Structures are given as C-alpha cells and as structure tokens.
Amino acid sequence: MKVFATHERNDDFAVDLRLEHEVLHVLCRHALPAVKTDGESNMSDSVVEIRGDWLIHDEVLLDEAISLGQLRNMPDFHDHAAFCFYRPIGIRKEMVSSVHKQPVNLFMMTSSSKMTGPQFHDNVSGLHPFINVLIPFKNSPFEDWMIGLNVYDPTLVAVSGDLQIFPCAGLDVVRRLELPEVRFEQSQATSSADGTVEICFYLSDADGQPITDHDAEVYLDTTGGVLSLYRVMTHGGKGRTLFRALDLQAGQSAKIKCGFKYFSGTDDCFVKVV
C-alpha cells in the first residue's frame, strides 16, 4: 500500500506506521532537529532514534490502532473517496475533540460547495487532517487503497509491513492524480429537436487512460433535455445513456456532466440541437 507523506504541512513530529491485516498502527513521538539554530546539538538522554537530520524522543504524542476495514461500513463509503482522520496532534490540535474521532469522506463534505480540501479545512471545518485514506473504487482491493499523511518532513515517517513511502507536495495533489475520473467518449454531439443521441463514457485515470479492470456507479446530470438513466453502473469500465432533446429548439444546447456520487462533474459533453 502506498503512503504519501507531505513536506512542511504539519508540525515536526515523527510517525511510525505498521499495517497488520486491515488495522493501521500509528505511533507519533516528539522530534527535534539534530542541531539547534546556534549550532549546538539537541542530543539528550530522551533521544531513542535518529532519522536524517531529526532526533526522535521517547515522548509519545499518539499511539493508536485504526481499523481501516471499518470504512466499508461508513454511509459515505463510495467510489472516489477520501476519508479524513482528525487527531489532537500537530497543527490546530486544540480544535480536535472526541467528536472528531469518526472519519469523514472529504468529497461528501464538499460535494455541494466544490471546495478543495485546503479550502474546506481552512474556511469551514477549521481542522487539519492528520491522515487521509484514499479509496479509488468501492470494489478496489484493500491493497489498492492509499494513505496520505500531513507531516513536516517525509524523513520523519517510518513504515513497516506492506507499506511504501512516497514524498509529495500535498495531499490535494495526490487526490487529483491518484483517484479515478469519468470521461465522455466525445465532448460534443448533435441532436434534432426532440431527437435522441447516445452518450458514452468510461472510467479513466488522471491522464485520461481508460480503466477497464474496475467498475463504478457513474452519476450524470444535464442542464436541459432528459437522460434515460442518471445513474449507470459501468461494465468493463464503460457505460452509456440516452439523451433526448426534450423541449429544446434548434440553436439551443445542453451540457451533460458525469462523475461519482460525491465527486461530480469530472467531464462535460455538450449537445447542440440542430
């Protein structure tokens, strides 16, 4: 499983991650630079480990076992999901209380506002997520899930088990690049007044390459006319619906958008009535 660790997105504490089956064991300890600003060493009797330019102290800030498998029971568990875990550690730790113990799907919280993750946390929740768990598809095997950590330095993160660290600029970038999209096979179509046209779409990665080994429930909407289906389960990564230019006149157009339940509008298709 991939673990994406940010840079300068949190306070300077060390993180140890161990994955056993579907349980993530998290240990956070106090960390200090090996050398003070005046050039003196920060070495002390409480130092238990050295990671790069950091001294890891024996002071435990967080020690928890998190059942990631329980996310499947969450009501907002869906395709293209990003569950945020808030803990009283690091930036804005004083804002986190026991009511924030339950993870939430970021895209469920922002589906109506279309805010980015940083916008939501800075302007609405006031919280700072410690861990993100990214789930590409509801039917993705657990090994394809991803973990994102907001930390100060990826060097401060140590993993064991089937975990691999990947430094990143920010978890918003990871979510954009690693989670799937839905794309239309064509961006434009034409129809006669009250005519019908087939609209085809497919699952893709961030580069637009088709995903054929997974399926998802695609959500569609239109600004005019009607669709035969507004929710379609793909087969082999592909799906289709019919658009009818109901009550539209020549020269008018409609925009159809596609996406997932909590992450809509990943692509548009414009139908012009001729």
Q: Express as a percent the part of the chain with pLDDT over 70.
A: 100
**Given a cut of 90, is residue 98 above it in pLDDT?**
no
What number is the average pLDDT over the span 22-34?
Answer: 96
Place of tokens 């179509």: 189
Same-domain check for residues 76 and 133: yes
Same-domain check for residues 258 and 209: yes
Cross-strand partners of 157: 15
Same-domain check for residues 167 and 42: yes
Nearest to 246 by CA among 268, 224, 263, 261: 224
Query: Where does a domain end: 178, 194, 227?
Result: 178
Q: Express as a percent the part of the chain with pLDDT over 90.
A: 95
Transcribe 150-208 into DSSP letters.
--S-GGGEEEESS-EEEE-S-HHHHHHHHS-EEEES-SEEEE-TT-EEEEEEEEE-TTS
Query: Where does a domain end: 178, 197, 230?
Result: 178
Q: How many domains does the chain have?
A: 2
Write out the residue range of the structural domain in which residue 249 sits.
181-273
Which tokens hold the place of 24? 């993530």
Same-domain check for residues 173 and 199: no
Spacing of C-alpha 107 from chain mean position: 8
What number is the average pLDDT over the span 74-78?
Answer: 96
pLDDT digits (tens, 9 = 90+) for 45-61: 999 999 999 999 999 99
Query: Where does a domain end: 146, 178, 210?
Result: 178
CATH code (residue 256): 2.60.40.10
pLDDT digits (tens, 9 = 90+) for 202-248: 999 999 999 999 999 999 999 999 999 999 999 999 999 999 999 99
**Given a cut of 90, is residue 77 above it in pLDDT?**
yes
User: What is the Cα–Cα distance from 111 to 265, expressed in whole angstroms?
Assistant: 10
